[in-house]
Structure 1
Amino acid sequence: MKVLIVSDTHRRNDNYIKVLERVSPVDMVIHCGDIEGSEYLIAECAGCPVQMVTGNNDFFSDLPREKEFQIGHYKVWLTHGHNYYVSMGNETIRQEARMRGVDIVMYGHTHKPVVEMEGGLIAVNPGSLTYPRQEGRRPSFIIMDLDRKGIAHFTIHYL
């Protein structure tokens, strides 16, 4: 199974479309928020199931603030992260993820890509396809691949 994880597109979807063209086909798209009214386009272009949540800039969205769902045998918690102070570090969101009993927490907001595996918890932030803030400031996304044994592998990619 191949999953595309993106975040913080902020209604500027050119890079999202480029990424889809580059990595397709995918089995699922996950958007970690700050979509700003492009929900329909994100879903329509994907051509597969899409999981999305609101971010701090999604003022008029009907999307949920958080979601929990399964990918293979992994329990995933999806949230934008701003309510868990991720701009100050991801300790609070990781603690909340452990209390919820999830295997993977996916979040955005910081515009910096992260894949951290610690103590049985995987924390994933794809960064931003529109306004990257990490060193080099290249738009980023993550591909999650489940191998034949169902083990998740994460790769950060840059445009």
Structure 2
Amino acid sequence: MIAGEDCHIVCGDADHDFNFPETCVTSVGEFKVGVVHGHQVVPWGDNNSLVKFAGRLGVDILVTGHTHRSSITELGGKFIINPGSVTGACNGLAEFDVTPSFMLMAVQEKSVVLYTYELKEGQTEPEVKMNELKR
């Protein structure tokens, strides 16, 4: 993290002892980005429900989680990004075959480059995939 930059935190489903907000909306480059843990949007991990939620927040990109599975989806003019779980812990659906992953997001005005790091079973180095999102 760069000194002086903002850090945004939202409430997860196990954050009972903290007073984090349910959602966060911020601007990055020309994009409005929303963050929500994802347990509040049902069915969990459903892209249609997440797109509607992104619309209610008024964001171009919704960063969400709860399923612990990394994914990048474009639907209805919105981008739904799930970085997965860096620990590979089982998810709220009691699925234990979760691949450890995280994402880095590089924003440049009208485009976003996502770098997805996944550590597949039996590997010692993560696979890195690059995706570019454009307005």
TM-score with structure 2 setting the length = 0.72
The DSSP-based 3-state class of the residue aligned with 2:52 is helix
For the structure 1 residues 146 and 138, does the alpha-carbon distance in structure 2 shift closer, same or farther, using more than 3 Å as the test?
Answer: same
Partner of 1:145: 106
Q: Which has the larger radius of gyration?
A: 2
The answer (yes or no) to whether the contact 1:132–1:138 under 8 Å persists in 2 is no
The DSSP-based 3-state class of the residue aligned with 2:85 is coil
Query: Whose helix fraction is larger, Structure 1's or Structure 2's?
Result: 1
Tell me the distance in 1 between the aligned counterparts of 2:60 and 2:8.
17
The answer (yes or no) to whether the contact 1:116–1:124 under 8 Å persists in 2 is yes
Q: Which amino acid in the other structure matches residue 54 of structure 2?
A: A
**Where does the alignment leave 5 or more consecutive residues of structure 1 unmatched?**
1-25, 28-45
Aligned residues: percent identity? 30
Q: Which amino acid in the other structure matches residue 118 of structure 2?
A: Y
Query: Which residue of 71, 74, 77 corresponds with 1:117?
Result: 74
RMSD: 2.5
For the structure 1 residues 63 and 92, does the alpha-carbon distance in structure 2 shift closer, same or farther, using more than 3 Å as the test?
Answer: same
Which structure has the higher relative contact order (CA within 8 Å, separation 6+)?
1
Partner of 1:82: 39
TM-superposed CA distance for 1:135, in Å, is 9.2
In the alignment, does 2:65 pair up with 1:108?
yes
Q: Which amino acid in the other structure matches residue 77 of structure 1?
A: G
For this pair of structures, how many residues does the alignment match? 115
The DSSP-based 3-state class of the residue aligned with 1:94 is helix
Partner of 1:57: 14
For the structure 1 residues 156 and 61, does the alpha-carbon distance in structure 2 shift closer, same or farther, using more than 3 Å as the test?
Answer: same
Q: Which amino acid in the other structure matches residue 155 of structure 1?
A: Y
The answer (yes or no) to whether the contact 1:132–1:139 under 8 Å persists in 2 is no
TM-score with structure 1 setting the length = 0.62
Tell me the distance in 2 between the aligned counterparts of 1:69 and 1:146.
13
Q: Which amino acid in the other structure matches residue 121 of structure 1?
A: K
